Chain A
């Protein structure tokens, strides 16, 4: 049933794996954590991109729960669900700067969150360097295109087209 039955290892959250805590029966350290900082440790020990990407996935995720679930309730549940959607309905919604802002933020966060997630997936499965390079080039191109197109559509929407 529990992890403890198969091994004495305690799961450690990815925000604190460097402590190596829990690897002994009494939940202590196996060895002193090797990365303990001393006065001689340089202030920046590695590039920070992956750390910011990791943090962005979590922060954007929390915001997207509200934005995307709210969007789905509005589009698929309220007022007859999908039946009511039409050009006139969109015109009514984008007459309000609030919903324009909602959609704009949702567009940017969901696309960046999704694209960064796809980057992880590509890194995991595409083994050859050239395959990886081309898949990521395609991903970046598609993402920039969709984000710019969606932004343009929100700002240039014309109800009297």
Chain B
């Protein structure tokens, strides 16, 4: 393999890919979300019936996925901002990335029960 001609992306490249994928995903969710919220202008029944889908166990699991995407995008976004504005940002970008991953894991573990409590209590009782 000729050395130096391939861009061998490492953490920095993968964090950029993940930032982009999560950003696009959140944008599409928000599009649908404003439409579903707009049903409050149609009737209480119409709104409550679309909200019932949010309470479906599979959709509830997708909400946990959405939280995962937003948490990563938010934490990594703060890292990107620090790289751009903090004078030592570029030097510590890798350490900051691993901090992002660490905080993300802790917050995701903490969010597991609260976000999925609806499904857990309906499936297994209180």
Contact = CB atoms under 8 A, between A and B. Distances in A.
Interface residues of B, number: 45
Contacts, number: 117
A2 B34 CA distance: 44
A65 to B, nearest CB: 5
Contacts of A114: 23, 26-27, 30
Contact of A121 (B24, B40, B77): B24
A85 B39 CA distance: 14
Interface string A124-161: 00000000000000000010001001101100111001
Interface residues of A, number: 44
A146 B41 contact: no
Nearest to B29: A114
A58 interface: yes
Interface of B: 20, 23-24, 26-27, 30-31, 34-35, 37-38, 40-41, 43-44, 47-48, 51, 54-55, 60, 63, 67, 70-71, 74, 77-78, 80-81, 83-85, 89-91, 93-94, 111, 114-118, 121
Given A117-B23, A146-B31, 20 more contacts: A13-B83, A14-B83, A58-B81, A58-B85, A61-B78, A62-B78, A76-B111, A82-B60, A82-B63, A83-B118, A85-B51, A85-B54, A88-B44, A90-B47, A110-B26, A114-B23, A149-B35, A150-B34, A150-B38, A153-B40
Interface of A: 2, 10-15, 58, 61-62, 64-65, 68-69, 72, 76-77, 80-83, 85-88, 90, 107, 110-111, 114-115, 117-118, 121, 142, 146, 149-150, 152-153, 156-158, 161
